Amino acid sequence: MMMMMMMMMMMVVVVVMMMMMMMMMMMMMMMMMMMMMMMMMMMMMMMMVVVMVMVIVMMMMMMMMMMCCC
């Protein structure tokens, strides 16, 4: 009887540990996904800013060229 109880307790402990590990892994995966999404968003924002600046510079150059031509 005692042996059966001990075995049952051990099984329960192992199952709980496995569940905890799975939860931790899921949390880590979620955190990694969130970080990746944030990084992608930051990269997209940076690219947008760079493109905007390049467009503004191109427009300024065009204006200067037009002025010079005139």
Q: Which of 34, 58, 54 minimizes the C-alpha distance to 46?
A: 54
Residue-wise pLDDT tens digits, 33-59? 888 888 888 888 888 888 889 898 988
What pLDDT sits at residue 43? 82
pLDDT at 16 over 70: yes
**Percentage of residues in the chain with pLDDT exceeding 70?**
97
Residue 15 pLDDT exceeds 80 = yes
Give 70's pLDDT tier (boundaries 50, 70, 90). Answer: low
pTM recorded for the entire structure: 0.42
For 8, 34, 50, 56, 65, the CA distances from 53, given in Å and listed in that order, are: 67, 28, 5, 5, 18
Retrieve residue 54's tokens: 């390049």
